[in-house]
Amino acid sequence: RLPGRGGGEGGRPPVWLVLDEVMDPQNFGALVRSAYFLGCAGVVTCSKNSATLSPTMSKASAGAVELQTIHSAKNLMKFLTKSKDNGWHVLGASLSKESVGAATVKLDKPSLLVLGNEGRGLRTLVLRCCDVVVQIEGGKGMSQDAEAGDDEVLDSLNVSVAGGILLHRLLCP
């Protein structure tokens, strides 16, 4: 259960980072570090199939793990559904034809940004819980017109890098 719906920096609604089965403790730590630095209200992880608090994770967070609020959800889909029922906006990060640029999203109510696993991305059921799917717009090699198999096409970034960019676009417009 997250704290009340107020409390974002500068009077804006809070934004929480939600990690869907992020397995690598260094990615987990780097995401917590970025979330804290950029003013994210907190981080929620899955209690199963996810990196846990550990010395490796703590080192990667550069101490942010000691400062950032971190919660764990036993059932992420239930958590997201209940959050929506309580007025939270759920944003999922994924590259798809339905996704919109993160900078175009208005955060006018409390929001959750959900990032997926390093290899698979967001699980299908988690993606279905999202109100909107966002992506990092304007990246080189991310063109919808690029041909499959093109050596210069990159369709993703490391989850901790993508998370930092998305949080910056959402929290520091």
For 18-34, write each residue's pLDDT tens digit: 999 999 999 999 999 99
Does the CA dihedral 137-138-141-146 come out positive or negative? positive
Q: Round to whole Å and give the CA distance between 20 and 106.
A: 23
Q: What is the pLDDT of residue 63?
A: 93
- Of residues 8 and 82, the one with the higher pLDDT is 82
Measured CA distances, 77 to 5, 12, 139, 150, 159 (Å): 19, 26, 30, 36, 20
pLDDT tens track for 67-89: 999 999 999 999 999 999 999 99
Fold that domain 12-138+153-171 belongs to in CATH: Alpha/beta knot (3.40.1280)
Short-list 2, 22, 21, 24, CA closest to 13 = 2
**Mean pLDDT across 144-169:** 77
Q: Given a cut of 90, is residue 9 above it in pLDDT?
A: no
Do 156 and 162 meet the contact criterion of CB atoms below 8 Å apart? yes
- Percent of the chain exceeding pLDDT 70 equals 84
